[in-house]
Chain A
Amino acid sequence: MASGNLSQGALAWSRFKRDRVGKASLTIALVIVLLAAFSPIILGILNLDAYTFYKDTLDPNTAGLPKGIGGISLTHPFGVEPGTGRDILARLLTGMQLSLLIAIVATTITMAIGVVIGLIAGYFRGIVDKFISTGIDLMLAFPVLLLILSLSNPLTQRLVSLGIPEGNPARVTYIILVLSFFGWTVIARVIRGQVISIREKEFVEASISMGAGPFRIMFRQILPNLWAPITIYGSLTLPSYVATEATLAFLGVGVLPPTPTWGAMLADSVSFFRVVPSYLFFPGLTLFAVVLAFNLLGDSIRDALDPKSIR
């Protein structure tokens, strides 16, 4: 039993330390983030590059297919891409950098919008709440994927005309914006519910009676009590954005070639799965591992912060 002297954070940490799945997934998630952050250095050591055509790995007597089993060798441990001979490990690592960047930025924006709107709706209630909740219902009714696909060209052009450089910067911005724009609704609903209950606590009433303004109460008094749901939902949103980004790239809304992303690699590898199965296997396995690790980590954080919640 934890003693009453421990802070809430220390309590959560002690619970987390006893969760073996949590520790394992935290380790994997950290390794992934480090791999992404240091991918240029790692690739430098391996002497690999995501854009080089290693043509000697292709069999000239075929339609450009890799030699041996997917071109796997000591130099190319995950094999090479059919048709070009680009190294799959190098492209996975380079693609991971962008995937994680998009997921982290989009998650941050999503949480920020969701928390602020949830706070406002929960604190003011009444007509404000009704207005915001109806808005959220409307947002949820949109066929999001179709909208993202059909808006991609016009909106990317619009971003360019607003001064964001054409090409990948505009495309990455678009993906981050749409992920955040359609993602905040769930967070806002959760935060709203929490705020409604916290608002009734004595310390809030005390602040009100002492004449504190609504925004001071929201951000100074209530927000510090919300960090548990924020952490939990943040850690669960991140992997879902990694997967969504891959889905969008699979459907053609992604960065420009030759920049690699996991979704584009998966989309391309599907047609080769019969002749070069390794091309589908490694990107698929990596995406699976990353999403699973972050999801389990999110679950463990929730268990640690909120042990009473029912799984």
Chain B
Amino acid sequence: MRKTAMKVGVVLASTALLAGCAAGGGAGEAGGTLYVLTNAEQILHLDPQRNYTGADMAFAGATIHRALVTYDEKGNIIPDLATDTGRTSDAGKTWEFTLRDGITYEDGSAIVCDDVKYGMSRSFATDVITDGPAFMVSYLDIPVGEDGASAYKGPYTGEGQELYDDAFKCTDDKNMVIRLNKPVIDFNGAFTLLISSPVPASADTGESYDDRPLASGPYKIETYEKGRELVLVRNENWDPASDPIRKAYPDQIVMEFALDPKVIDERIIASSGPDANAISYGIQLENLGRVFDDPELSKRAIDAYDPYSRYTAVNTKTVPCVEVRKALYYGLDRDALLTLAGGKFAGDLGDGVIKPNLPLDYKKVTGYDDLVVTGSKELATAWMDKAKTACPEVYAKATTTGLTFDYAVSDAADKVAGVWVSSLEANAGIKIVPNPIEPGQYYGIVLGDSQGDLSTAGWGPDWLNASTVVPALFTPDGGFDLSHAAEGDAEAYAEFADIVANGKAEVNREAQGALWAAGNQLAMDRVWVVPTRFGRSQYIHGTGVQGAYFWDAYGWYNLSTLSVK
């Protein structure tokens, strides 16, 4: 599912899922202007079918776009445009949804089934609609062509349109039937992403729809100037009675782009004038102590788990030696990594790719009770000794030419690379060669041919099921397979592939969770990734902002319930 953004500002979110989060206060007051201050030059994507970053989905989904279903404050799936959360009679292979009455776009026209169908069809035009989730392409019952891609090429070319019309049927303006290629019992979770947001064919402008999408939610775009500001004003054609979650208190929402992160912190801390109604995407490391040690400032600050598990993937094709991988696992100084990530604000040591925010799927990974958090010379050396006889070639490579360590370059990430180099040299005698990559190109490069031996990454579930984690990270067609275990660790992968196949087919959610946990355990046993951290994130908002809380499901504020003075 979603990757962590590699830049300041986009990540965030979540333990309140477990705690049953404390939603902010009572009813807010309508009126005023909410300011969102950001370092980014633009919202990565406003096009609903392309929006796939947690915080951006939280923003656009609470303001301009509606989807078939959404999350409530506690992270439960609730109906949004639909009348219920979807019906399936055959264990998840066929899904039916019915649209509510009274739902309209900003121009007053009604939202009909064909618009939802057209919106989802855009996901198939992978040359135009880039960066979005690929669930429709992989799950809809549409045959795969000779090139391995879907035989349907999206609405712009129309190639294979009859196949799509067959898989997605609108029986009338309100009712739809969606057929999948296999049973997916919680498929409605995918519709909490904005891929199920309606787009009328007449309004679609293709690639440039990103700049001016048609609003279905309580706000519409008044002006959008990248690098400067985005102004949202009320959508008078939105009917509050049709919407179960969005309270839409502020009259106007203004996002200010391209601000220095330090300036953002200072403005919100000072909270003077309009800045009293400001929120942002995080607090700079150097200001954390200042904010949380101050009794007044800490009252308007949030410190919460975010949905992402951070890890470093080991390319098993180039490091086909579990002993060397174990030595990496045991030799790394994780304590230094945690300090670097913010000391007491950094979060917890990660033990796998499934985070405890997936309670049904998380199970503590066993077999590493002897792990030393600062790195163990004794254990790492012991594994390297075994590697010397078990796989002399990989041993020689690790100790002489070294293993390349891919990361998206930043001052902080340079220090992270330093921890890898220094602690593995000292504890395991492994040479690490840092490979800094420009952040905007990072995932493009590591997912391509020039991937190194070790690649830093982060991943959070698309919805509350590790079906969006375990297969995505370790199966070749999962979309985010940095470990290549199917090729590099084939024997263990055979067992893993069975677990994934069973997990996908399992309709009992608890049994399914146990299978995902087993897959996670196996991946850790074979060290396909070196888990580092279950992260936390911190925010501060202005003195006038009411009802602010951390929306675990998406990993940012929930603007639906937020009001300003």
Contact = CB atoms under 8 A, between A and B. Distances in A.
Given A62-B288, A63-B344, A83 B339 contact: yes
B92 interface: no
Interface in A21-77: 51-53, 55, 58-65
B417 interface: yes
Contact of A62 (B262, B344, B402): B344
B343 A258 contact: no
Interface in B339-391: 339-340, 342-345
B335 to A, nearest CB: 7
Interface stretch (B113-121, B318-326, B406-414): B406-414
Nearest to B417: A257
Given A53-B333, A63-B345, A256-B433, A84 B288 contact: no
Contacts of B262: 271, 274
Contacts of A64: 285, 339-340, 342-343
A55 B422 CA distance: 14
B421 A65 contact: no
Q: Chain A interface residue count: which class?
A: 20 to 34
A63 B286 contact: yes
A275 interface: yes
A288 to B, nearest CB: 21
A115 interface: no
Contact of B415 (A63, A257, A275): A257
B414 A55 contact: no
B344 A84 contact: no
Interface string A257-268: 110000010011
B276 to A, nearest CB: 22
A268 B333 contact: no
A214 B290 CA distance: 72
A257 B418 contact: yes
B284 interface: yes
Nearest to B404: A166
A267 B434 contact: no
B340 A256 contact: no
A118 interface: no
Given A60-B344, A252-B409, A258-B422, A55 B335 contact: yes
Interface in A179-217: none
A27 B287 CA distance: 42
Contacts of B335: 55
B411 A256 contact: no
A217 B61 CA distance: 80
Given A53-B333, A64-B340, A268 B414 contact: yes
B348 to A, nearest CB: 15
Given A252-B409, A256-B433, A84 B342 contact: no
B417 A256 contact: yes
B343 A63 contact: yes
9 contacts: A63-B289, A65-B286, A65-B289, A81-B415, A84-B415, A257-B415, A258-B422, A272-B286, A274-B286
Q: Enumerate the 5 nearest inter-chain pairs by beta-carbon distance, A residue then B residue, closest first.
A: A258-B418, A63-B288, A64-B343, A257-B414, A62-B289
Given A63-B285, A64-B285, A268-B415, 15 more contacts: A52-B422, A55-B339, A58-B339, A59-B343, A61-B343, A63-B344, A64-B342, A65-B289, A83-B415, A84-B415, A257-B414, A257-B434, A258-B415, A271-B411, A272-B286
